[in-house]
Copies of this chain bind each other. A is one copy, B any other.
Amino acid sequence: MGSMADLFWPGDERADGHFTDAAFLRAMVEVESEWLGRELEVPELDPAAAEAGGNPVIALVRLLREQDLEVHRGLTSQDVVDTALMRMAMHAVADVRLDLAAIGHGLTGLAEQHRDTPMVARTLTQHAVPTTFGFRVAAWLTAVLDADEDLARLTFPRQLGGAAGTRAAMVELGRELPTGIPRWHTTRAPVTRIGDALVGCTDACARIANDVVTMSRPEIGELAEGSGGGSSTMPNKANPVLSVLVRRAALTTPQLAATLHLAAAQQVDDRADGGWHAEWATLRDLVRRTLVAVSQTADLVADLRVAPDRMAANLAAAGDAVLAEQRSMTDDPAPTYLGDAGAYVDQVVARAKAALG
């Protein structure tokens, strides 16, 4: 959806039609349609009308009632908004998981290919001991699998409680009502869990991007983005643009998830006086930024250039100091230096294959 692409957030168009105004409106109309049992057309809604009632449903219902008087009977705004948000979130999370799977497959291949590619490990920025690039990729893959596990556990409940959760009008109307679903109009774990899980995704993407920006520094030169970004003034420069933009996202999403928790912690009465309203744009931004970040990371991984020769050269230049620890442990004149790194790579690869299919 070009209309949502955003000069202030390069790459935003990757989030496509998720959580756009059009998608929100459509999802709300779907909720009303299902309640009514008949399909309603999606009207043109002036966003400015949303303010009058503090939420977009009131203006929507007014328009829909021009089509059908019986619309929205027994529902409250929160039923419609919450259910619509959860539908949109469900679709978005499914797309996030597709990209995580692509990242996971790419990393699995890299880990296998570089299972035994030696490089120098770095701790607190300094050379530490030998490791392999495959072992490093296993760490990236672990982050991605952990993030996906949290997404897989999410649920996207509908909301159906009427004016104050008691379904009073619905019962008067003689509607058959589902039982067993929670009412979460003032308890927002369904929202905060989504937020927390999405931040887990940008954490995982940043884990990869941080290494790429570091290892693609010219003095290190062990990695490079496949197609570096240009410069407006220095034509020969190839910037690790995807990594930079992924890192950008991960600087912002934890605070968005915190806002969802703060909103949850403001719940009061039978509908909150601000906490509920703070969720919508926050969740939107969190979802879209995560979608952009996983998409950019998928491209990054797919096109990553690995330089085993530079890894070997940096390890050699690190010299004997990085071998000192192991030598102090053994009389073996030729220790392997790599511990069980290879076996651990195999183990993470097996986990990935089981998880991602």
Contact = CB atoms under 8 A, between A and B. Distances in A.
A8 B56 CA distance: 8
A357 interface: no
Interface stretch (A33-41, A100-108, A140-148): A140-148
Nearest to A74: B329
Interface stretch (A90-98, A109-117, A187-195, A301-309): A187-195
A75 to B, nearest CB: 7
A343 interface: yes
Contacts of A156: none
B5 A47 contact: yes
A131 interface: yes
A261 interface: yes
A188 B165 contact: no
Contacts of A135: 165-166
Interface string A333-348: 0011111110110010
Given A211-B269, A251-B266, A271-B124, A170 B281 contact: no
Interface residues of A, number: 174
A143 B54 contact: no
A354 interface: no
Q: Which of A204, A239, A338 gathers most chain B CB within 10 Å?
A: A239
B281 A6 contact: yes
A146 B196 CA distance: 14
A160 to B, nearest CB: 11
A51 B203 contact: no
Given A234-B163, A265-B250, A25 B47 contact: no
Nearest to A19: B8
Contact of A6 (B21, B199, B232): B21
Nearest to A268: B210
A2 B56 CA distance: 15
A50 interface: yes
A193 to B, nearest CB: 7
B248 A277 contact: yes
B234 A128 contact: yes
The listed residue with most B CB atoms (<10 A of its CB), out of A12, A14, A254, A326, is A254
Contacts of A143: 187, 189, 267
A206 to B, nearest CB: 4
Interface in A248-264: 248-259, 261-264
A272 to B, nearest CB: 8
A355 interface: no
Contact of A199 (B132, B140, B250, B261): B261
A48 interface: yes
Nearest to A342: B166
28 contacts: A9-B280, A54-B229, A61-B232, A74-B329, A121-B165, A123-B164, A123-B237, A124-B229, A124-B239, A125-B213, A125-B216, A128-B163, A128-B234, A131-B270, A143-B187, A165-B344, A169-B233, A171-B339, A206-B265, A213-B274, A214-B268, A214-B269, A219-B314, A236-B324, A244-B277, A247-B273, A252-B282, A254-B258
A-B pairs, 7 with minimum CB distance: A247-B274, A121-B164, A5-B47, A123-B271, A168-B339, A255-B255, A254-B261
Given A76-B123, A135-B165, 6 more contacts: A126-B216, A127-B237, A128-B164, A142-B182, A168-B337, A236-B321
